[in-house]
Structures are given as structure tokens and as C-alpha cells.
A and B are shown apart, each in its own frame.
Chain A
Amino acid sequence: MAKEKKGVRLEHISKIYQDPKTGKDFYAVKDTDLVIEPGSFVTLLGPSGCGKTTTLRMIAGFESPDEGEIYLGDEPINALTPDKRDTAMVFQSYALLPHYNVFDNVAYGLKLRKVPKDEIKERVTRILKLVELEGMEGRMTNQLSGGQQQRVALARALVIEPSVLLFDEPLSNLDAKLRVTMRTEIRRIQQEVGITAIYVTHDQSEAMALSDNIIVMSNGVVEQMGTPQEIYYHPKNEFVADFIGEANFLPGDYIGEAGKTIVLRPEAATLADKGGLKCKVVLSCFMGSYQNYHVMVDDHLVKLQEYNPKNKKIYNVGDECCLVFEKENIHLL
């Protein structure tokens, strides 16, 4: 696409809602600054109610920020209605127009933009090819599978060549296997088109697989922004460490770092007969690709996964052994 790529910038954005029960105001999003680089794929990740969808809907224009300004490229867009913003959204429920067929659904945005008929035909055909839905033009949307509907929704958003593509948990209605396929697809298409994409999800593996950058949110605040590696290996706080992947927390005293907390990933430690920290096995369970252990180090529970257990010693419940990990494989908070 010949169009210039645009980034998105949020400056001191807040959104206040009223609690319907107590009538009290609360911040759904609080004083958030974000810079999303042109052409990058950024994920807003967090538990439900963390403000990620509200942030996305403010960028789309469905909600108006109570404080701060949103920029698309260098243009402030606070006062623009969704139809005037150069963004296109892929909805969780796909939101395809049930009274139109696939072609008309994809052509809808182009028709509104008064694009000539031949060009509409050409562009819709090209996009449908990109999302691998050739030959489905005449189908009604309810004759499509969930994955196909998702592709139509994606095609519809892509065809108008927006500056920014927004995704609101688009894969959460699909079954697990299809979710994995579709997320690879989304990433492939985004890279092929080179468009800026903002993606909301509560599924960390989706975020990992898709993003250049992940923004972890909780309670309306950005906890950390960084590449998937940064977030996984260098979480800024316990929330991020715990939310992304699994994490065990141990007092720093065990390695002579009093006052600090050790973040230990389940795959970063092993059990051995000697060396490391004394522990007692309370759960030992064969999971196929790994052996799952729960061990007690004094009164701290540590969960770990010993991969490729076929030729390793298996410890049983009640066994006394040692928890071993390398210093460079842990993170200190």
C-alpha cells in the first residue's frame, strides 16, 4: 500500500466511568501515555477490566477521553467521530452485517467512500485473496465458519486501507486450534501490508506470538511496555511477572539479596540430589512433554517444569531434594 504509515500517540489519557451500583466515579484508564510506532504491531494485554478495551475504543472514537489527547500521526483526533477517523476495527463478535453477503460486507466501506465500481471489485477481490477467501464472495455471512467470518472482518477492515488497524479480542470466539492458526495469519497479513496494528487481548500467548511490543495494563494503568522478551525476562513488578507466564516468588535472602524478591520461571530451575536450596516434593505429575513438580522451600511453594523428563530422575511426593537454578536465569525485583 502506497499510503504513508502513521503511528498513534496517547498523551495523559484518562477515562472516567460511573459505577452503576455505588454511583461513584472511577478511572477506567488513568493518565496513560503511549507511543505506538508506525508499522508496528502492539498488543494491549491485561486481565478483564484493566482498561485495554476502553483504550482501544477511545482510539477508534467510540469513547471520548476525559483527559488528554490522542494523536493519529501528528493530528489530534479527540473530536473526530469514528466514521471520520482513519482507523478500522476488527470486532470480537466479528460484527459482520448479516443482511449482506461476503462481497458486500467487504465493499461496504469502499461504497461509503464513493470508490468507483470497477475499483471496488478489484480491491475486494485482491483483499479476499489475501485472506484466502477467494470464491466465497456470494456467501451470506452465516454460511461461514467462525474462522472464515473472522477473515471477512479482517478483509473489511483492511480494504479501506486505514492508517491503523484495531483488534478487539478478535480470536476469543474461536476454538483453541483455530486461534493459533488465525494469529499466525494475522501476523503474516500485517507484515505483508505493513500496517500499524493495535491488538487487545487477555491471552498472553497470543500477545507473545503477535507483537513487536506488548503493553501490560492493570486497573487502568500501564504497568510495563516492551518487547515480549523484555516483558518476560525483565518484568518491572510482581503483577507483570505473575501475569506473563508463570512465576515463583522467593525472598532474595536465599541468594544473599536481602529486601529483594527472586522471580523464578518454572522452566528456569531443576531438581537435583544436592546443591541449591533444600526442598520437599509435594506434587509430581507426568504431563508428557514435561514433569510437573510442586516443591516447598521452607514454607514457599515453587512450581517447576522439568522438560524432556524421559531420561531424567523422577522425584516422587515426599522426596527431599534440592532446587537448583543459575543466577543469570532469574530476575530480581
Chain B
Amino acid sequence: MLHYTIRRLIAIIPVLFIVSIIVFMIVHLTPGNPAYLILGEDSSPEAIEQLEQQLGLDKPKVVQYFDWLRNVFVGDLGESIYSEQPVSQIIAERIGPTFSLMIISMLLTLIVAIPTAIFIVWKRNTVLDPIFLSGSLLGTSIPEFWLALLLVFGLGVTVPIFPVAGYVPITDGILGWLHHLLLPGIVLAAVEIGLIARMLRDSMLESVNQDYTKTARGKGVKESTVLIKHVFSNALIPTTTVIGVTIAGLLGGTVIIETIFTIPGIGQLLIDSIHRRDYPVIQGVILFIAFVYVIINLIVDLLYAFLDPRIRYD
């Protein structure tokens, strides 16, 4: 297990290195001169040159990259051009809402998807199964923004149970926090529930007629125990990958949802920064999102080993 963990950790290093190059290139190779955009159309060439010097934009790209990378290593992501605050500080301020939203929607997803999948597999030879399949397809097909608007209209405006926008930190009370995040959480979860329940159902059906379930039934074990204990524990292994990818994908989903519900999270920060051409922040946020992606994948890999002894003891 230790060996496996170390191997996984080492595998991260090249990934992060490549990510850093891509992030740097995305910002620096796209057309448009940041200094020019910051200062505006009427600026003089001298002022632009001066700002370029100040930002280090006149140096060769390779030198710029290594300067930037050196700073990233010590946690210095530069300063925002717009607010002149350190980028790391800006990101830190915006993590809370985004992570809250991710956690809420993930919990909602798992709470609904797991029992649904188990129930459907239990009733696998009934009409419920095709109904479930259409339902999950519908769930994954609904565009997030459309569902968001529908829910805002229904549960925010027509029957005003939930606030239509805004965010309350958890430190100001868990109820207010939950109250503000439930609607966007449901929107994000709707897509994932369909996907994960479907995936779990498929892997459970695959394992429901495996020989080891015969052994379990042959012991006189109840069908519900066979499903929940023997089938589910095996089906969870491939599903974990999908859950991991989903959590990471939520980061992308939050960009839209945070904008609709005006939640001051990472996604909104990214959109705003792109509008402002605040490239140190853009760089920082993309790098941060990539980093979270990598970490989630690492956790999935470790979870894999936890769930599957064949990997753990390899």
C-alpha cells in the first residue's frame, strides 16, 4: 500500500509540470497584448513599454515561464492587475463557496444515486428498470443552465422557498448556508445523479450473476444482503472512477452555476478575470483547478486501493 501510494505521488509530478506549461502558454500565446489591453486604446507606446517592463513581458517567454514557475513553487502566483491583491489570496477567498457547492451537490448525488441504483438492481426484472433508464438519460441530457432557470423560476420566484441568488458562509450559520446552496446544488447534482446511478446499476448488474453471488446465496444469505454487501462492494470499484471524474467535472459546472446564482466562487472569479484580461489571476485559477483535478484523481486512486484488495496487495 505504501509502495502504491508513493508510486501514485511520483506520477503526479510530470502531470503538474505539463499542466504548468500549458497554463502558461494558454495565457501568453493567445493574441493581444496585456499591457495594451490594460492601459486602453489611448495609451502611449512609452506607457505600454513601461508596463511591459514592469510585468516582465519584454523578457523571452522561456525566461518568463521559469520566473513564474519559481514563484509558483513558493506559493506566489503573482498579483492581480485589477485589484493588485496577491492571486493566492484572491483564490483562497473564493474557495469556500465553490467547495461548499461541490460538497453539497456531491452529497446530494450520492444520497440519491446509490439507493436508486441498488433498488433498481433489486427490481431488475420489472418495468422499473426501463423507466429508470429513460429517467437517467433525461437527467444527464438536461442542460444545467436551463434546469437552473427553471428551478429559480419555480422555487425562487413563483413559490419563493429558496433565495434566487447569493451566498452565506457556513460560519454565519449552517442553515443559511444550506438554504442558499440547495438550489444550485440540486442543479449540479441532477446531471450527476443520472450518470452515477446508471453507472452503478450497470456494474451491479454485471456482478449480480457472478459466481461469488451464487456462493453467497448458497450460504443462505438474503437477497438484499447479497446486493448491498456482495454486489455493491464490487460494483463500487469501477463507479469510483466515474465519481472522481464527476467531482472534478463539478469544478467546470460551477462556472455556469455560480454565474447564474451569483455565488462568489472560483468559477465567477475566472469569468470576471477573463473579462478583465487579468492574466495572473486567470493563470492562477486554471492552475488551481488543474491542481484540484490531480488531487481528486490521486484520492480516487488511493480509494481504489482501499476498495480493492487486489490493488492494495499488488
To the question of whether A and B form a pair in one complex, the answer is: no
